[in-house]
Structures are given as C-alpha cells and as structure tokens.
Amino acid sequence: MKNTEKTVIAVTGHTNSGKTTLIRTLTKSNVGLVADRAHATIKTETIQYNTLQALFLDCPGFEVPDSCLAYMKAKKQELSPEMLANIFPVDKMKYDLNAIEGVEGADVVIYVVDTLNDVPETGHDQEIELLKELNKPIIGIGNKSIKRNEQHVKRITQWEDFFKQNDINHYIMFDSWWDDPSKVTRIYSYVENLLSGQKKERYRIDLENFRHRQLEILSKASDLMYDCIQACSKAKRQKGIDNTSPEKDLIDEIRDEVKQLLEEFNENVSRLYKLAADDPLKGVNDLNFHKKSFSKPRDVVDGAAAGTGIGTGVGGVIGGIIGFLIGLPVGGVAAGPAALVGIQIGATAVGFLGGGLGAVLSVNNNILVALDSNDKKSIATTCLAIIWGVSYHGYGNSPTIGEQEIVGLLETIKNFQDNRYIFWDKLSKKQVFEECKQFFDKIEGRL
C-alpha cells in the first residue's frame, strides 16, 4: 500500500506531555524514545504501523508557538525564505518548525496536554491557533489524567473547559500509562469520525485488521490460561485418616504448586506480549514464541502468601506482574517496588479472590485436599488480570501501577465473573478464548 493511502496521524503538543507514550499505547508497540525530560523527541519521527496501515508522526514539542504563528502568517504573504529568516529567530524555532512540517502532512492531529501542568498557559492557546491555521481536524488528549488530589481534579476540569473554548469537540481525559481500555477504543473512533471519503472507509478496514491481530495474541494467551487452569485443577494431595500429618501441610504444598504455575503463566504471557510489541508487523505464529515450562518448583512471591490463603499470594503475584515493565524479569519480592505493591494489597485481594485455598474431603478412608470451584474461579480471575495487565501496561516509561488501579482491575474482573456461572476447568480451549474475548469486548467498550 502506498503511504498516500494510509491514515496519517500527527501527535503534537508541549514538550514532555507524553506524546510518544500515547503512540505506544495506541499501537501496543515499543516505538520511539520515551524519557521523562524535555525534547526526548528532537525531530518528527514517522512510525509506520502497518498492522493498522497508519503513519503516526511523533512530533517534537512546541517551544515558541507565538513566533511560529507569526511565521506561518508571514509565510502566507509569500515572503521569501531569506526575508523570513531575517525576521524570525528560525534557529530557536527548529523544534516547532519540525512539528509544523509533520502536521502539514497529516490527516488528523492529536494534540496532547499534560493535565498536571497549570491551566492553560498562553502557549497552549497559540498552539491551538497554529494548528487551526494549518486547517487540520484536532483530537484533544488530556494526558496523565488519573486523579491524584483535589487540585488535580480542578486542573482536569480546566483542561476540559480549554478544549471546549477552543471548539475541540473530540477530546478525552486519558492516562497513557494505565487507563480504561474503552478510552483507547474511543480515541480510534474519534480518528474515524474526522476522516472522510475513501480514507474513512480504508481506516475502518485497517482498524478491524489491527483488532484481528490483537485477538490472535489474546487467543494464544487464552491457550496459556487454559493450560494453567487445567494444571492447577490437578493439584491434589491426600493422606490416610490415621496419618498424623496436619492438613495445613498439604494445603501449603498445593499453594506452592499453584504459585509456581501462576508464575509460569505470567512469564509466558509477558513474553508473548513483549514479542508482539517488539515486532508488531509479524503474525502471531511468526513471533518465535515457545511456551516455557519449569523444570523444578520455584517460590513466586516468597513470604507474600504466608498464612492467609490464595488471596494474599495472588495479590503479590499480580503486583509483580502488572507493576513491572514489559521486558524486565519478573520475580517475587526481589523484583522491587512492583512486587511490594502486590504484598501491600494482598489482604485486600483476599476479599476479591476468595478465602482459603483447598477443600478438605474424606474419600475412601483418605483425606483429600484439592481446589474447589471458588479456588478455580480465583485462578481464572488472576489469569485474566495478568493478561489485561501486560496487554495494556508497560509500553511507556511507566511508574508502578498503584493499589487503587490494581484493586479496580480485580473488582472489574470479579464483577464480570460474578454474573456468569462458569466452571473454568470444564471449558475447552475454544470456550476459554470466547470467555476472554467477551471480557475484553466489555472492557474495551464493544459490549
């Protein structure tokens, strides 16, 4: 396909507002340079995302929009380049002029602001006026919008008013690190709304192809989830009634086995999504992904699960999984702040994920300890949380997800499952995928 047939989306705004991270989140790929400093992007970078058949133009941040606005108006008067260079500080406008060049070739402009900053600075008004001077449809993104305190809430409201006052009707408060997946769906819908003719029809087809690839990855992840649930369901311990060994020892053995299986699942799913993010043009079957199995037992979260059943253990696992950046090794408490967040929310997670692990039954003069239906449901919840976490987090230079976000994630999954009577260990691989697909359709705003 020729580049002229692709949708060209320019992402621009103040420097260090999170433009590159937004592109990473929208494309689910590790593109561009992400850093917490001004001008990490020093020239417009064209990111060809062929899975979506789109070009994302990652533009440098504006620095002197007032000079650029005057420059653009003077340029319309057909002044020569020499005269323009004599009138304007072109050397100080290099980032801005580079951004303008990118915007001029775009079908749609995404204008990103940092909602943590004071609202609005004069420069923001000038930047919007500059974009309108270029006659481009604009989508406004209020980035870093997960509410931190009362002052931040006021700033977010001011940014919403800023977009309205500038007649930007397609805007959304968003957080490129971690946010409601349905907002990503809305951003792509906004792009579609602002296109016309063949570009619009082509974009619809391309967006469906992009979604198809995400479903292929989810299908592979759901196969891993099926394997994990089946393996956990087979975790059983038994002893004779006359054996004096306490049931707690058997329960602890099962807990260790389940933790190991969850860690195996986590490593496999994380590697799958990392491979897909690193090489977004490859089909899922060409990603060189091979399921990894453990040769010996390993403790997943060390002391995080001690004494309080599967809930705390799962809390530790989820903290270590969702908080870490894709591509870094995962491993219990030693993994650093991410795992510590998991331990912190462990007690809270017990309420969401069920109580103690293991049902104790008397069978043919033997004591049998095995997982009950609630335990299996908790494991399925954990697997869904892992897939959700690694598929929507880690594409930017991200901080650890906090307790509120993880608990919200668990609650969303639990509510989804509570309304459905599913015996996960009885489902086929295809049925597990359909359940995963329905869950993602729901959180992505398609149901």
Render 56-68 in DSSP notation, one character per residue: EEEPPPBS-HHHH
Task: Kindly state whether residues 118 and 265 are assigned to the same domain.
Answer: no
In a domain, 50, yes or no: yes
* Domain annotation covers residue 26: yes
Q: Are 160 and 272 part of one and the same domain?
A: no
Residue where the block lists tokens 């420069």: 123
Per the CB < 8 A criterion, the answer to whether 142 and 171 are in contact is: yes
Tell whether 278 is covered by a domain. Answer: yes
Tell me what the pLDDT averaged over the chain comes to. Answer: 75
Which residue would you say has higher pLDDT here, 332 or 376? Answer: 376
What is the C-alpha separation between 184 and 165, in angstroms, rounded?
Answer: 24
Tell me the percentage of the chain whose pLDDT exceeds 90: 19
Closest of 252, 238, 266 to residue 356, by C-alpha: 252
**Which residue has better confidence, 296 or 57?**
57
Burial of 427 (0-12, 13-18, 19+ CB in 10 A): middle
- What pLDDT, on the 0 to 100 scale, is given for residue 243? 56
Q: Domain for residue 207, yes or no?
A: no
Q: Is the pLDDT of residue 161 over 90?
A: yes
Q: Is there a single domain that holds both residue 221 and residue 298? A: yes
Residue 420: Cβ within 10 Å count? 10
Q: How far apart (Å, rounded) are the C-alpha atoms in residues 93 and 63?
A: 7
Residue 367: the pLDDT is 73
Number of CB atoms found within 10 A of residue 340's CB: 16
Q: Which of 135, 161, 195 is the last residue of a domain?
A: 195
Residue 393: what pLDDT?
67
Q: What is the mean pLDDT of residues 267-271?
A: 83
The residue that leads in pLDDT, 402 or 22, is 22
The pLDDT score that the predictor gives to residue 40 is 43
- On whether residue 238 sits in a domain, the answer given is yes
Question: Do residue 63 and residue 175 come from a single domain?
Answer: yes
CB 113 within 8 A of CB 142: yes
**Does the structure show a pLDDT above 50 at 311?**
no
Residue among 75, 30, 31 nearest 57 (CA):
31
| C-alpha distances out from residue 162 to 14, 121, 156, 166, 171, Å | 15, 10, 10, 6, 10
Per-residue pLDDT averaged across 237-259, rounded? 71
Task: Please determine, for residue 49, whether its predicted confidence score (pLDDT) is greater than 70.
Answer: no
Instruction: Give the whole-angstrom CA distance, residue 113 versus residue 22.
Output: 11
Locate 98 and state its tokens.
């580079």
Q: Is 16 in the same domain as 153?
A: yes
pLDDT higher than 60, residue 346: no
Among 253, 283, 194, 140, residue whose Cα is nearest residue 7: 194
Taking 80 as the threshold, does the pLDDT of residue 263 lie above it? no
| 145 found inside a domain | yes
**Residue 111 phi/psi, 5° resolution?**
-105, 120
Q: Are residues 166 and 53 in the same domain?
A: yes
How many domains does the chain fold into? 2
Q: 238 pLDDT exceeds 80?
A: no
List pLDDT tens digits, range 363-374. Answer: 555 677 788 888
Of the candidates 379, 373, 371, the one whose C-alpha atom is nearest the C-alpha of residue 317 is 379
Higher pLDDT: 122 or 286? It is 286
Name which residue leads in pLDDT, 64 or 366.
64
In a domain, 209, yes or no: no
Q: Say yes or no: 148 and 247 in one domain.
A: no
| CA nearest neighbour of 262 among 387, 412, 372, 178 | 387
Q: Which conformational region is residue 58 in: left (phi greater than 0), alpha (psi within -120 to 50 degrees), or beta?
A: beta
Q: Are residues 223 and 298 in the same domain?
A: yes
Q: Residue 398 has what DSSP assignment? A: P
Residue 89 has pLDDT above 90, yes or no: no
Of the pLDDT bands very low, low, confident and very high (cuts 50, 70, 90), residue 286 is confident
User: What is the span of the domain harbouring residue 294?
Assistant: 217-443
Instruction: Please indicate, yes or no, if residue 211 is contained in any of the structural domains.
Output: no
Instruction: Kindly give, in sequence order, each residue whose CB lies less than 8 Å from that of residue 188, ignoring residues fewer than 6 positions away.
Output: 26, 207
- CA–chain centroid gap for 154, Å, is 26
Domain boundary among 143, 160, 195: 195
> Do 136 and 257 sit in the same domain of this protein?
no
User: 256-277 burial by CB neighbour count: b if 16+ within 10 A, else e?
Assistant: bbbbbbbbbbbbbbbbbbbbbb
175 & 226 share domain: no
Three-class secondary structure of residue 36 per DSSP: coil
Q: Are 281 and 269 in contact (CB under 8 A)?
A: no
Mean per-residue pLDDT, 250-262 = 80
The helix/strand/coil state of 360 is strand
Integer Cα distance of 301 and 295 in angstroms:
18
Residue 412: pLDDT band (50, 70, 90) is: confident
Query: What is the percent of the chain with per-residue pLDDT over 70, rounded to a whole number?
Result: 72
| Joined tokens for residue 386 | 């892992």
Lowest mean pLDDT among 43-47, 264-268, 406-410, 435-439: 43-47
Looking up residue 85, the CATH number of its domain turns out to be: 3.40.50.300
Q: Domain check: are 223 and 183 in the same one?
A: no
Task: Indicate if 253 and 164 belong to the same structural domain.
Answer: no
pLDDT value for 33: 46
Highest mean pLDDT among 259-263, 369-373, 441-445: 441-445
Q: How confident is the model at residue 327 (pLDDT cuts 50, 70, 90)?
A: very low
